[in-house]
Amino acid sequence: MKKPELDDSLPKIGNPARSALEVIGITRLSQVTQLSKAELARLHGVGPKAIGILENALAARGLAFSQKKKP
């Protein structure tokens, strides 16, 4: 029996946040794990609400934001 695939689409976030992610090539939820919260917050259009929605969606799938430090 085939295992059902998890939906990897971005959750419902505002259009400015979605557009900001698309500009940098992020179109799937799993790709968001490449970014830290600080990197997301620096994107124009991505605010605390969108970050919270993304964080909850990641956690529901056992994923999280990157923990990389600023160079």
Q: Which one-letter amino acid corresponds to residue 27?
A: T
**What is the identity of the amino acid at 11?**
P
pLDDT at 33 over 90: yes
Interval 34-58 mean pLDDT: 96
Q: What is the pLDDT of residue 3?
A: 52
Query: Residue 10 in contact with residue 28, Cβ under 8 Å?
Result: yes
Domain borders along the chain are 35-66
Q: Which amino acid is at 48?
A: P
Q: Is the pLDDT of residue 1 over 90?
A: no
Q: What are phi and psi of 9, to 5 degrees?
A: -75, 155
Q: How far apart are CA 46 and CA 61, in angstroms?
A: 21
Which whole number is the average pLDDT over 8-13? 95
What mean pLDDT is predicted for residues 60-66?
Answer: 96
- Residue 5 is predicted with a pLDDT of 58
